[in-house]
Chains A and B, each alone.
Chain A
């Protein structure tokens, strides 16, 4: 019996794998997605680990998921609904708080309680960051050009890239100063960048959080300003930089994508860990799974990060040594952990007035850049931060589907947590110590918090590495620094979603434009694959 040959096999049912698979299936391909876990979604999942509570176990908020992808894949049909944040707040030791709101005027009014200067500067800061967002937005759906190639496609691509940076027509003419500003923005630290606008520690600390989340950089590290941009370039319906919850948790995104894929005839097979890519005569022809099954396809697409793709499931002998070396050098350092907590009721945070919408979004405790940098210093020494930066939220305050009425789910993202500890590896005891450390930290700001805990899950970078499959637990599948962005992502010369092996492709967040549950790498990869197969997509935005 001859084995079936699929048009494409996608390795990994995370959001990018499912996005790529859905676009391909929509274009008429026969697509199979293989997933190692017994559930789909990768790092965009909603799992009920404790009866009655849905957890967004890994990623927890949504902003970067491209609206064009939601539109092309009609994800609303499969239940996807984004709920915008109402605000955000940093709680202060002196009992005060600093808040931003969905309403711009409320934000300005709120900042001016701390500093009139900062309240005014916030408008200018927003304008400048928005300019950078406008420049980068069109690049998100482009395949990065190969600057060393003389193919017409690459030359035109390079011009297109350059056009968006110069952005004359988009922004009504940028002068030299603005182009220099862009270059500065991409290379500066967030601490230096914010110093140019703001005077108070609390404003800077509140804003700087977006520049360190998920990255192994500190707020004083050059390049951290770009990470902030990465967190700002999303939108919730034209409200640029806004964040929201996926109704039903982040798993609703991948669930909807999975449904879309199936509706176009695609297949998902869970509990099927791919162990290697089968290469014959220099071409990828299929994959083998842990239980010995083999699947064949015209195209193999890896949604694993670049390290796993080339160091784990591809034989080194199928690759050039210098390429392997560069993959080994790819920076993918784990820096964050997570607590997912089921609560019997709503914890009180006395520093935020009751019913203040600032309390209905992301909550933080870090009051100064120094404290944040100190947290980073601990990580460098192989310890979890004594005074971590936390990005904490209660999606159940906005989403009625996460827990029963009156009960709550709390997602606590923690920066910084190392993949390997200086005093030896992670073990159960250390994991619990880490969890308790964070719980105690939260309890300092919420007297009734501990009593409300019904269940909690601790996730170290090691857990994320082992279970989800993100190497070292790096949430972006690779640092978002200039040396690993655009035509350098993941590997210089291989930024166009094609691996060095024919018919093997990459669609993970290790590729342009990176992580953050954006879906753009998957959609871009699908476009390249379909173009190699001479298949035209109809009516799509990618």
Chain B
């Protein structure tokens, strides 16, 4: 394939030579200016790799920023809603951050490399928001997205795959811990994190090692049911895990054209990440405190267990088949749960106090005709699937 990269609309990741060779369907997906594989062979088999063996996914397009300086930790703790004042070296934290009005800018992970050096990994471009927020902190903030080749390695056999790859004693790494490894002479940061709800890890290395790393991983996993996974399968596993996706389940304040579409953490199921008791001020604290005290939260993000087996993509939710009370943001027939699940944004008190008599109106396409289905649904925990092996220490080894 000879493509003039200067003419191409989308960037190639450092794994492109490998992913494009593994992709049997020529099916690609735009992600933050990069092109990544949507489906390698069939989505079902890629999905299964995450729940049965190991899936490998190219994560490079996730935005990554390094934050360095003596006041880095102080800044991070001011930037995000979660209290990270006790954050230790070589740990990772799942966080959200808000604007001054208490509306969510993005969610992501913070990596504490040491007390003066952090990295933030997220879905939305954040350089300017970070810099604006860090005014006066005297920090060095850089976009390092293109300087890191990132892979996600997830599934029940993932620890074994990485041990074969050279990550000695990896099974003792706890969830949300990270560790530097030197493998085949190059350095790799491995964190026990992921977006699949299963046992899994994420790997960062210098782009020049990308192809070597891919090849070694595939070799290490050849008896452990390893398979590259595309974006379609990722969508399935993340819904089962109940993870939210910026732009799908909520709109970032950086993108919302209509200010009313902006959401507070309490409206997207992220209240648990808001630590109003945090000693120091953090961006949005005043507004969030007021929201909490006055009970002005309008919406709620819930999990739905829907009758039948027709996925409720984009469906409208009704109270007693009459009043429109919300919308499905993501839907899936879950192959593992054998349940018809969805993530939905509801107008309170629906989904909080009122959980009965809620219907989803599904239009199911049947050969050029839509079959309209009124399906009853139950409001359930959004984390639909969380197997024991996910958090087990030591991790399962095959």
Contacts and interface: CB of A to CB of B under 8 A. Distances in A.
Interface of A: 67-68, 70-71, 75-76, 81-84, 86, 102-103, 172, 236-239, 247, 357, 398-401, 404-406
B52 A247 contact: yes
Given A102-B44, A172-B367, A405-B398, A81 B224 contact: no
Given A398-B225, A400-B157, A86 B45 contact: yes
Contacts of B225: 398-400
Given A76-B338, A81-B336, A400-B156, 17 more contacts: A67-B309, A67-B338, A68-B338, A70-B338, A76-B337, A84-B48, A102-B41, A102-B42, A103-B42, A237-B335, A239-B44, A400-B52, A401-B398, A405-B160, A405-B223, A405-B398, A406-B223
Q: Which 3 A-B pairs have the closest CB atoms?
A: A405-B223, A70-B338, A71-B338
B45 A84 contact: yes
8 contacts: A67-B338, A76-B338, A76-B385, A81-B336, A102-B42, A102-B44, A172-B366, A238-B309
A82 B51 CA distance: 10
B225 to A, nearest CB: 5
B48 A83 contact: yes
Interface centre among B53, B156, B157, B223 (most CB of A within 10 A): B223
Contacts of B338: 67-68, 70-71, 75-76, 237
B359 interface: no
A239 B309 CA distance: 12
Contact of A405 (B52, B224, B309): B224
Contacts of A239: 44
A405 B157 CA distance: 10
B382 interface: no
A84 B52 CA distance: 11
Binding site of B, secondary structure by majority: helix, strand, loop or mixed?
Answer: loop
Contacts of B52: 81, 83, 247, 398-400
Interface centre among B25, B52, B385, B398 (most CB of A within 10 A): B52
B51 A81 contact: yes
Contacts of B51: 81
A66 to B, nearest CB: 9
B339 interface: yes
A295 B293 CA distance: 61
A398 B369 CA distance: 38
B75 interface: no
B397 to A, nearest CB: 10
A406 B25 CA distance: 28
B339 A71 contact: yes
B350 interface: no
A102 B223 CA distance: 21
Given A398-B52, A405-B398, A237 B44 contact: yes
Interface string B325-338: 00000000101111
A75 B337 CA distance: 8
B48 A71 contact: no
Contacts of B157: 400
Nearest to B367: A172
Interface in B325-381: 333, 335-339, 366-367, 369
B366 to A, nearest CB: 8
A103 B224 CA distance: 22
Interface string B31-70: 0000000000110110010011100000000000000000
Contacts of B160: 405
Contacts of A404: 398
Given A238-B309, A238-B333, A84 B398 contact: no
B160 to A, nearest CB: 7
A237 B311 CA distance: 12
A158 to B, nearest CB: 26
Nearest to B44: A84
Nearest to B54: A400
Contacts of A398: 52, 225
Nearest to B371: A169
Contacts of A406: 223
A238 B42 CA distance: 14
B211 to A, nearest CB: 20
A294 to B, nearest CB: 39
Interface string B90-112: 00000000000000000000000
A80 B339 CA distance: 14
B398 A400 contact: yes
Contacts of A405: 160, 223-224, 398
Nearest to B156: A400
B45 A102 contact: yes
A75 B335 CA distance: 12
Contacts of A103: 24-25, 41-42
A76 B341 CA distance: 14
A400 B41 CA distance: 20
